[in-house]
Amino acid sequence: MNALPPDLNHELARVLGDGWLTDPSERLAYAYDNSRRQSLPDAVALPTTREQVAALVQACRARRVPVIARGRGTNTTGATVPVAGGVVVSFERMNRILDIRPGDRCAVVEPGVLNGDLQAALKAHGLFWAPDPTSAGYSTVGGNLACNAGGPRAVKYGASRDNVLALTAVTGAGELIHCGTATTKGATGYDLQRLLVGSEGTLALIVEASLRLTPLPQARGALRAIYRDVSSAAQAVAQLMAQPLTPSMLEFMDSDAVRLARDIGGADLPQEAGALLMIEADGDADTLPHSIETLMAAATVDGLVSLDDAADEAARERLWAARKALSPSLRTLAPGKINEDVVVPVSRIPDLVDGVQHLSREFSLPIVCFGHAGNGNLHVNLLYDPADTAQSARASVAMSRVFALTLSLGGTLSGEHGIGLAKREFMPQAIDPPTLAMMRAVKSAFDPDGILNPGKLLP
């Protein structure tokens, strides 16, 4: 049936009942994720309780069988592909919202609940959970936490790590640990819960999360600012981030992105547009107009071509049309795309975009930059034809140069996608040997036999 020891199959079939899948056709759906890499697991577990998870990890540890936690596989780095075989643990049956406590700004959930389902439930209480990755409608809270997912709202409200209070998890030794307290402050021992966030299932499997919630703002408003060039837009970003009214979104598009949105996507943008910012504010309905005025003033720098204020939700949608036209337009340039989410200090955005444009010319490959400017977190999209081996090889070298550039600017490999398989080989460039050794020692403390998601994150 599969390559696992028969006694393990027997034991886990007993523990998990119909939540133990060994049929190859059933396993296939758990072989890949949004990275488009693929590797068939030996079995798939669909636990319904934390006790099942603990029993599974203990049984697998006894036989040194890999255990790979999985939400819905929306990650782009291969973090949930079972490259060493073993058991994929999909949390699709642990998807309950256990408690919502508005007065405490806290929700307690199982890891498999979809981000979007949680947001819908919270809305009735006038609350939201800050992380808003593009995948929110079909990615899980557990997956968001495992990758430290962010999204455009992170500039004001933080990413996953900033919005977790406590986690219950099963370590690689099969021990159930309780990290943190469901309070907004805490100084009782080591902060293990934020360590688990972003660890991509390599330290422990999250079985319950107490999340920090934020009250929903009453109203929001949007601005679209068009600049002559990237350095003008970057100057505006710095000015926007240096004043107290933090935008609720601050999204950037470089000149290639603007051109694509206009020429291919049909967005209504002027010819002289060399960069674009989408700026949002949220807050009290009465004071929002004043907030928008404040942001308009901060966005006004030399090189501003136009500044449009969306008077209502329909106008807001029209302003966002340019941004939304972009992703489909990218596909017209080349069939293949490498999308990396590097991050640099905000002041270094112009250097990053300039450097990337230089690399685009050097390697004769289109590279389009857009993303979360308020955090310095740009999505660098390198376009190429995977069928063309010479182009593929150039693309790979160009991307490693993008990473080297990012690191030279005081930035790092990933802002919100994580490392997984995709960026693992670049870790020694980003993290020095003693710090990597320390990460390995932490890994060993949580997972003494290295059974949790082997081959990911650490080189």
Q: Which is nearer to its own copies, 396 or 435 (CB)?
A: 435
Q: Would you count residue 103 as binding its own copies (CB under 8 A)?
A: yes
Using CB under 8 A as the binding rule, the residues of this chain from 30 to 49 that contact its own copies are none
Q: Can you tell me the distance from the alpha carbon of 343 to that of 39, in angstroms, rounded to the nearest whole number?
A: 30
Q: Would you count residue 203 as binding its own copies (CB under 8 A)?
A: yes
Using CB under 8 A as the binding rule, the residues of this chain from 218 to 247 that contact its own copies are 218, 238, 241-246
Determine which residue in the list 38, 134, 287, 332 makes contact with its own copies, applying CB under 8 A: 287
Determine which residue in the list 24, 215, 266, 335 makes contact with its own copies, applying CB under 8 A: 215
Q: What sign does the dihedral 271-277-278-280 (CA atoms) show?
A: negative
What residues contact 374, with CB distance under 8 A and at least 6 apart? 155, 156, 237, 240, 241, 246, 247, 249, 250, 346
Q: Which is nearer to its own copies, 47 or 415 (CB)?
A: 415
> What is the closest distance, in whole angstroms, from the C-beta atom of residue 354 to its own copies in the complex?
16
> What is the closest distance, in whole angstroms, from the C-beta atom of residue 305 to its own copies in the complex?
22
Determine which residue in the list 24, 126, 270, 335 makes contact with its own copies, applying CB under 8 A: 126
> What is the closest distance, in whole angstroms, from the C-beta atom of residue 223 to its own copies in the complex?
17
Q: Can you tell me the distance from the alpha carbon of 354 to that of 358, in angstroms, rounded to the nearest whole number?
A: 6
Q: Would you count residue 13 as binding its own copies (CB under 8 A)?
A: no
Quick count: other Cβ atoms within 10 Å of Cβ 10? 12
Using CB under 8 A as the binding rule, the residues of this chain from 386 to 445 that contact its own copies are 410-419, 423, 427, 430-432, 434-439, 441-445
> What is the closest distance, in whole angstroms, from the C-beta atom of residue 253 to its own copies in the complex?
18
Length of the chain: 459
Q: Would you count residue 189 as binding its own copies (CB under 8 A)?
A: yes
Q: Which is nearer to its own copies, 175 or 362 (CB)?
A: 175
Q: Can you tell me the distance from the alpha carbon of 159 to that of 181, in angstroms, rounded to the nearest whole number?
A: 19
Q: Would you count residue 178 as binding its own copies (CB under 8 A)?
A: yes
- Which among 83, 92, 193, 204 is positioned nearest to 139, based on CA atoms? 92
Hunting for tokens 């072989």 — which residue is that? 31
CB 426 within 8 A of CB 403: yes
> What is the closest distance, in whole angstroms, from the C-beta atom of residue 348 to its own copies in the complex?
8
Q: Which two tokens stand for residue 125?
A: 């209480």
Positions of E strands within 311-363: 336-340
What residues contact 417, with CB distance under 8 A and at least 6 apart? 75, 76, 77, 147, 340, 341
Hunting for tokens 């596909």 — which residue is that? 331
CB 22 within 8 A of CB 46: no
CB 57 within 8 A of CB 66: no
Using CB under 8 A as the binding rule, the residues of this chain from 302 to 361 that contact its own copies are 343-347
Determine which residue in the list 15, 45, 60, 147 makes contact with its own copies, applying CB under 8 A: 147
Q: Would you count residue 283 as binding its own copies (CB under 8 A)?
A: yes
> What is the closest distance, in whole angstroms, from the C-beta atom of residue 327 to its own copies in the complex?
21
DSSP string, 85-117: --EEEE-TT---EEEEEGGGTEEEE-TTSBHHH
- Which among 161, 198, 155, 160 is positioned nearest to 346, based on CA atoms? 155
Q: Would you count residue 171 as binding its own copies (CB under 8 A)?
A: yes
> What is the closest distance, in whole angstroms, from the C-beta atom of residue 376 to its own copies in the complex?
5
Q: Would you count residue 290 as binding its own copies (CB under 8 A)?
A: yes
CB 150 within 8 A of CB 375: yes
Q: Which is nearer to its own copies, 40 or 97 (CB)?
A: 97
Q: Would you count residue 188 as binding its own copies (CB under 8 A)?
A: yes
Round to the nearest angstrom and report the end-to-end CA distance of the chain: 32
Q: Which of 12-20, 99-107, 131-139, 264-272 is the region at the interface with its own copies (rule: CB under 8 A)? A: 99-107
Q: Which is nearer to its own copies, 39 or 239 (CB)?
A: 239
Determine which residue in the list 13, 22, 62, 217 makes contact with its own copies, applying CB under 8 A: 217
> What is the closest distance, in whole angstroms, from the C-beta atom of residue 140 to its own copies in the complex?
17
Q: Would you count residue 60 as binding its own copies (CB under 8 A)?
A: no
Site size for its own copies, by CB under 8 A? 97
What region, left, alpha or beta, does residue 11 occupy, with left being phi > 0 and alpha being psi -120 to 50 degrees?
alpha
Q: Which is nearer to its own copies, 329 or 377 (CB)?
A: 377
> What is the closest distance, in whole angstroms, from the C-beta atom of residue 219 to its own copies in the complex?
10
What kind and span of H or E run contains 370?
Answer: strand 367-372
